[in-house]
Amino acid sequence: MPGLKLEVIPTTHKLPLAKPVKGAVGKTGSWRWRKPVVDNSKCRRCFLCEIYCPDNCILVDPDKGVSIDYDYCKGCGVCASVCPVEAITMVREGGGNG
């Protein structure tokens, strides 16, 4: 920042701040009623699903393709919506029609 020096001096008061950690509220994958299932043979490694996942549950490996952390995936379906080649489909948990 031009013009001024910045000094960060802590306060003795409690601040409404948090640091992001994995699983702060438990394994949120149990909230899911439908699950994303990947067909890696269709995946073109465009990384859109990884970028869009609101819970940071998707990793795309250039060699192996998409992997999903089902411990925390809440099944929102954003990945399936943004996938340009329909490599991800949402499947109802426990069988039946999603």
Burial 77-96 (b: 16+ CB within 10 A, else e): ebbbeebeeebbebbeeeee
Residues 35-54 that bind other proteins (CB under 8 A): none
CB of 20 to other proteins, least distance (A): 5
For position 17 contacting other proteins by CB under 8 A, the verdict is yes
Tokens representing residue 3 in the block: 């013009």
Under the binding rule (CB under 8 A), the answer on residue 94 touching other proteins is: no
- The alpha carbon of 83 is separated from its chain's Cα centroid by a whole number of angstroms, namely 14
Tell me the closest approach of the beta carbon of residue 15 to other proteins, in angstroms. 6
- Residues in contact with other proteins by CB under 8 A are 1-11, 13-20
